[in-house]
Amino acid sequence: MKAKSSKKYWSLIAGSLGFLSVLSIALLSEQGLMAVSNGGSITCADVTFGTTQYTEAAEGSGTSFFTAKNLTVASSACTKIFTSGTTVAARVGSSTANGSLTLTFGGSYVITKAKVLCYKYTSDSSKTVSAFVSTSAHSAAQSQTIAATAVPDITDASTDAGYVFTNLDNGTSSASTSFTIAGSGGRFNLCKIVFTIGGSTVSSSSSSFSSSATPSSSSSSVNSSSASVSSTSSSSTSNGEGAYYSSIDWSSSGASLKTSLFNLISSNYVTKSYDYAYTTYLTSDCDSDGKIIDMYSNYHWDPVSDRAGSYTQEGQVFNREHTIPQSVFDEASPMKSDVHHLVPTDGYVNNRRSNYPHGNVGTATYTSGNGSKLGSGSSSTNHGYTSTVFEVIDEYKGDFARMYFYMTTRYQDKLTSWGSFGAFNNTTYPSLSNWARQVYLEWSDADPVSSKEIARNNAIYAVQNNRNPFIDHPEAAHSIWDGAAY
């Protein structure tokens, strides 16, 4: 079900959490588990069951049918859970009754998020099967519909078969002593649960994990009332990625600084498939209820049931929007699947935007539900460019400006061969057309980096192994383009 959001949805989340100096996202890289920290002590833990579908009618209990990593499970309580050792998936439910599994920990853990890897039991593949998750800290069960019918790769929990449940610490960094997952409407095979653990953790002597206390909210560089960081300071200080930029001389400027950043963010880049963007969105563009955030509309989308498909009006489905249109680079890789500029948006609004550059609209010919506009460029505020442009709402202008900065830097070696596009001038430097340079610098200044952008940058880094430096160091945009000769 689609849920309307306020324009400052993420700010409200950050405020309700006191921000805690922590935006935690646990992800898995291609090679294995990776924990991404934005201050404080955060780690990943998991409980693994297996992958092979279990068909025998024997209920499991105890702790012998799974293995735990980075946390201790003292016992389990099972209702209609069928198991056979740690290499076979736990079947949740029988042919006549729903199943439930409660894991009781050997200590207390601040569980902020859980990703469940599972798939429908073959005999119930045509049924609407749902999974419900709760913790002792957040007893109100969250549910998601299980659509997957294929065995997930449990060595890569970023697979599409994973279902993300968030806010399991009740939004207050409350510790949990147990975790419950239950089924409804049919059976499913439970393969793995990946936990994000953050904040302070009170562990028993038998627990295999403990963490230090989270820094106080007063030390956060983020103002919770606006959920943004100053454009003159580096967010890398708070997200622990300062070492990533160790090769960069921030006193340099112009083409020299741009080329240094190009070399950094192009090296060791991991190219993912275009379809993999939908998986990345589960951590890069997901709200606290597991819904996909849309910057072109007021909708928050179900990651499975609202994905792609046909549309005749706004509010029906979301799809993938290329900030730099695919036609500019002939749909070539890796640009096509680079999630730093690939965002989830309302399919209808995305279609209306078409392949026009982003800019300030004078007279609008179309306005979306959240106020995004399509129309001719304003001669004054769009610095003389009066061709058709698409203007996002003020809350997201900086986000898109920093995507343009990223793309002209990450692919500066390809820009001269890219097709005609109003925002570019087909040069390695300065890359941006004069009007676009001025508009995007103004957008970036007026809409500073938000907590949402920091979380998105961290999530994409865990997948692609590169960062958007204009989120970590927004001041770099002025260093690069202020002195550009046009």
Q: What is the pLDDT averaged over residues 321-350?
A: 97
Q: For residue 82, what pLDDT is reported?
A: 94
Per-residue model confidence (pLDDT) at position 415: 95
Confidence at residue 242, expressed as pLDDT on a 0 to 100 scale: 63
Contact between 18 and 451 (Cβ < 8 Å): no
- Say what the pLDDT of residue 27 is: 32
pLDDT of residue 366: 97
Going through 302-430 in order, the beta strands assigned E by DSSP cover 318-322, 342-346, 361-367, 373-377, 388-391
pLDDT bracket for residue 32 (50, 70, 90):
very low
Helix H, strand E, coil C: the string for 85-136 is: CCCECEEECCCCCCCEEEEEEEEEECEEEEEEEEEECHHHCCCCEEEEEEEC
Pairwise pLDDT comparison (230 vs 350), residue with the higher score: 350
Helices and strands: H and E segment counts in the chain: 10, 22
What average pLDDT score do residues 402-430 get? 96
- Compute the average pLDDT of residues 422-432: 96
Higher pLDDT, 222 or 62: 62
What six digits make up the tokens of 312? Answer: 């005749």
Single-letter residue type at 24:
S
41-45, 145-149, 159-163, 212-216: which has the minimum mean pLDDT? 212-216
Instruction: Between 229 and 124, name the one with better pLDDT.
Output: 124
Residue 9 has pLDDT above 60, yes or no: no
Average pLDDT of the residues in 8-24? 33
pLDDT range class, residue 349, cuts 50, 70, 90: very high
pLDDT for 354-387, tens place per residue?
Answer: 999 999 999 999 999 999 999 999 999 999 999 9
- Top mean-pLDDT range of 9-13, 199-203, 454-458: 454-458
pLDDT of residue 190: 96
| Residue range 103-110: mean pLDDT, rounded | 91
Helix/strand/coil for 365:
strand
pLDDT in tens, 138-182: 888 889 999 899 998 887 655 445 888 888 988 788 899 999 999
pLDDT in tens, 78-94: 999 999 888 899 999 99
* H helix or E strand, kind and range, residue 456: helix 451-464
Q: Which two tokens stand for residue 48?
A: 């693994």
Q: Which residue has the higher pLDDT, 207 or 1?
A: 1
Q: How confident is the model at residue 485 (pLDDT cuts 50, 70, 90)?
A: low
pLDDT for 234: 39
The mean pLDDT of the chain is 82
- Per-residue pLDDT, 25: 30
Residue 229: per-residue pLDDT? 30
Q: Is 282 in a helix, a strand, or coil?
A: helix
Q: Which residues, 6 or more positions from 331, have their beta carbon under 8 angstroms from its beta carbon?
A: none
**Model confidence at 429: pLDDT above 90:** yes
Contact 220, 214 (CB under 8 A): no
pLDDT bracket for residue 43 (50, 70, 90):
low
Residue 435 has pLDDT above 90, yes or no: yes
Q: What is the mean pLDDT of residues 228-232?
A: 32
* Separation of alpha carbons 118 and 233, rounded Å: 42
Using the Cα atoms of residue 100, residue 101, residue 107 and residue 110 in order, give the sign of their dihedral: negative
